[in-house]
Amino acid sequence: MTTRGNAGKGRPKGSRNKTTTALKEAVLEAARLHGSDGNGTDELVGYCRMVAAKDHKAFTSLLGRVLPLSVRGDIEEGGPVSYKVTISFD
């Protein structure tokens, strides 16, 4: 007879790790409270704009994590497929 040890005792497959979820929520809340000026101005969007203006590399790295990895849609057979992303720093 073979024993399976601790098999099946962990988190169900596909469920989120509670620590990871709590950390993500904390980071988003901290960014929201900081805002663009340290006082919460424009909340999370303000924080993202501030990071984009001060640290292009960090912001583009973050942007790369939130853009879709694939695009799906109906296309005509033989027709061109294009996907355009424009990033500008004013």
Return d(Cα 83, Cα 73) in angstroms, integer: 11
Cβ neighbours around 3 below 10 Å, total: 6
CB 32 within 8 A of CB 44: yes
Task: Tell me the residue type at 30.
Answer: A
Q: 18 versus 80: which is more confidently predicted?
A: 18
Residue ranges making up the domain that contains 41 = 19-66
Domain-located, residue 54: yes
State how many domains the chain has: 1
Rounded to two decimals, what is the model's pTM? 0.60
Residue 76 lies in a domain: no
Q: Is residue 82 part of a domain?
A: no
**Residue-wise pLDDT tens digits, 38-83:** 999 999 999 999 999 999 999 989 888 888 776 666 666 766 667 6
Residue 30 lies in a domain: yes
Looking at the domain assignment, is residue 42 inside a domain? yes
| 45 lies in some domain | yes
Q: What is the rounded distance in angstroms from the CA atom of residue 88 to the CA atom of residue 51?
A: 13
